């Protein structure tokens, strides 16, 4: 049984009030003594735990490290991640017909996705552990972020990508930031299996979202959404709609809410309803939620234009599904065409996102049509990656170019 309770005594293995706990068997581990990704007893997922959980008054400064009191290490390898905008989106709001819609644009992070939040923390922990190689499997964004942060930390980076299924901008980033890029004959889930084995053999430090410290950084998305929403509207959102791949963000946002409850800064009822969106061709989380299950079943054949979330085995599902259920959220699958429509709609509001990110808006619209989101709700859609990550998808979704001669009359004739 997954146990995500934060109550309990600080175990003797804690270091500076931080330890790792297995969410399945409850076993505890010293945080920085050995390199571990799963419980050595039962293989359950691990979660960082703290002797004290801070409320909002403890937060100061900007970006991810504003929330240092809620993080396991002090600021280290940083390129000013976090502090991303919470935009109004008039076209989306009109189409959705709900009380308020905001777009939290994580594409405005240094490497263009939310992954930077996880890497600033995860790479800092890697330094503390003294590892000599960092690695990840990736649909693209994780590899771009890890390459950048590994570069800044002067630590070699190995990335495993599904051959032919990663958007051009992301590969370009990983290459320029100096990662060793291996293109695997398989999908993302196969890449993750391989890199997890390399990590288990001690060949590299794994920085996928299986790594509990990375999710600590991503937790700050929730803190920012809550603080920015209150500043902008005086209220916290009723619902946060987000794309789901490995379900790391879903798990991380739920952890932030649980910590705020533990700190007395939020009540259970105030937790925004976590609402996950997947592409119809890669929707194991949606399948699990529709069946009311606490586990996903692996999809071996996955396909979607939203390559970032072309994932059939969401490793964080055991942490994320309770978050969906406990917050009164849900999960929904959307077609690729609806994702592209949402990408265009966001673009019309001046917000440029990659396809996976637009899934959040597509999901909001689909759930409104089904009557599963009511008109009085205040909703935040999370857009996880920048438009320029996937130039081919953007160009295909946008209008065509017009060839013209090099004179003004020729241009006017063509219009």
- Binding of ligand F0G by 211 (CB under 6 A): no
Bridge partners (DSSP) listed for residue 15: 18
Whether 372 contacts 365, CB under 8 Å: no
Q: Which is nearer to ligand F0G, 211 or 357 (CB)?
A: 357
Least separation in angstroms between residue 375's CB and ligand F0G is 27
Site stretch for ligand F0G (CB under 6 A), options 34-42, 139-147, 228-236, 366-374: 139-147
Measuring CA to CA, how many Å separate 90 from each of 102, 225, 318? 9, 18, 36
Are 191 and 245 spatial neighbours (Cβ–Cβ below 8 Å)? no
Site map 232..271 versus ligand F0G, x via CB under 6 A: -----------xxxxxxx----------------------
Tell me how long the chain is: 415
Site for ligand F0G in 348-377 (CB under 6 A): 354, 356-357
> Cβ closer to ligand F0G: 138 or 330?
138
Instruction: Tell me if 385 sits within 8 A of 328, measured CB to CB.
Output: no
> x/- contact string, 290-329, with ligand F0G (CB under 6 A)?
------------------xx--------------------
Q: Strands, E, within 51-119: which ranges?
A: 86-88, 100-105
246 is in an annotated binding site: yes
> Rounded distance, CA 276 to CA 364, Å?
10
Angle at 136 between CA 135 and CA 138, to 5 degrees: 150
* 185-204 binders of ligand F0G (CB under 6 A): none
Least gap, CB of 111 to ligand F0G (angstroms) = 10
Distance of CA 230 to the CA centre of its chain: 22
Half-sphere exposure of 133 (CA within 13 A, CB side): 13
Nearby residues of 190 by Cβ (< 8 Å), 6 or more positions away: 162, 184
- Does the annotation flag 248 for ligand binding? yes
Residue placing its CB nearer to ligand F0G in the complex, 301 or 400: 301
Judged by CB, which is closer to ligand F0G: 78, or 141? 141
* Strands 157-162, 180-184: pairing kind: parallel
Assign 28 to helix, strand or coil: strand
The CB-of-319 to ligand F0G minimum distance in angstroms stands at 11
Q: Quick check: 161 and 181 in contact, CB under 8 A?
A: yes
The C-alpha atoms of residue 288 and residue 297 are separated, in whole angstroms, by 8
CB of 112 to ligand F0G, least distance (A): 9
By beta-carbon proximity to ligand F0G, the closer residue of 28 and 111 is 111
Nearest approach, Cβ of 366 to ligand F0G (angstroms)? Answer: 17
Pick the closer one to ligand F0G by CB: 169 or 385: 385
Whether 143 contacts 113, CB under 8 Å: no
Q: How many residues bind ligand F0G (CB under 6 A)?
A: 22
Residue 247 assigned to a binding site:
yes
Catalog residues that contact ligand F0G under the rule CB under 6 A: 113, 115, 138-142, 209, 243-249, 308-309, 354, 356-357, 384-385
Binding site residue list for pyridoxal 5'-phosphate = 141, 245-249, 384
Binding site residue list = 141, 245-249, 384
């Amino acid at each position: 049984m997954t146990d995500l309770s934060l109550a309990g005594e600080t175990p003797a293995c804690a270091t500076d009030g931080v330890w790792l706990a297995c969410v399945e068997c409850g076993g505890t581990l010293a945080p920085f003594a050995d390199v571990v990704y799963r419980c050595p007893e039962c293989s359950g997922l691990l979660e960082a735990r703290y002797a004290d959980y801070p409320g909002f008054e403890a937060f100061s400064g900007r970006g991810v490290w504003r929330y240092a009191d809620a993080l396991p290490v002090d600021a280290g390898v940083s390129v000013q991640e976090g502090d991303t905008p919470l935009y109004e989106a008039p076209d989306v709001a009109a189409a959705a017909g709900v009380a308020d819609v905001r777009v939290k644009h994580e594409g405005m992070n240094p490497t263009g996705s939310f992954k930077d939040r996880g890497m600033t923390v995860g790479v800092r922990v890697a330094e503390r552990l003294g590892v000599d190689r960092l690695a990840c499997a990736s649909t693209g964004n994780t590899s771009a972020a890890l390459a950048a942060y590994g570069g800044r930390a002067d630590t070699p980076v190995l990335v495993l990508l599904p051959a032919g299924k990663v958007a051009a901008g992301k590969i370009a980033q990983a290459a320029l930031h100096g990662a060793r890029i291996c293109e695997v004959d398989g999908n993302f889930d196969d890449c993750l299996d391989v890199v997890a084995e390399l990590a288990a053999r001690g060949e590299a430090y794994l920085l996928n979202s299986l790594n509990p410290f990375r999710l600590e950084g991503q937790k700050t998305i929730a803190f920012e959404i809550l603080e920015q929403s209150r500043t902008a509207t005086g209220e916290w959102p009723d619902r946060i709609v987000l794309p789901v791949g490995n379900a790391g963000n879903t798990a991380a946002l739920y952890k932030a809410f649980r910590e705020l409850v533990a700190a007395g800064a939020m009540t259970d009822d105030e937790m925004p309803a976590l609402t996950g969106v997947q592409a119809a061709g890669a929707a194991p989380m949606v399948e699990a939620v529709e069946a009311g299950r606490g586990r996903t079943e692996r999809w071996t054949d996955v396909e979607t234009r939203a390559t970032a979330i072309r994932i059939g085995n969401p490793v964080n599902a055991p942490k994320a599904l309770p978050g969906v259920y406990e917050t009164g959220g849900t999960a929904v699958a959307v077609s690729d065409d609806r994702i592209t429509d949402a990408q265009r709609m966001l673009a019309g509001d001046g917000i440029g996102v990659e396809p996976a990110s637009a899934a959040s808006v597509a999901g909001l619209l689909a759930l409104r049509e089904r009557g599963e989101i009511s008109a009085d709700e205040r909703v935040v859609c999370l857009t996880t990656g920048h438009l320029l990550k996937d130039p081919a998808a953007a160009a295909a979704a946008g209008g065509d170019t017009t060839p013209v001669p090099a004179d003004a009359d020729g241009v006017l004739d063509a219009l």
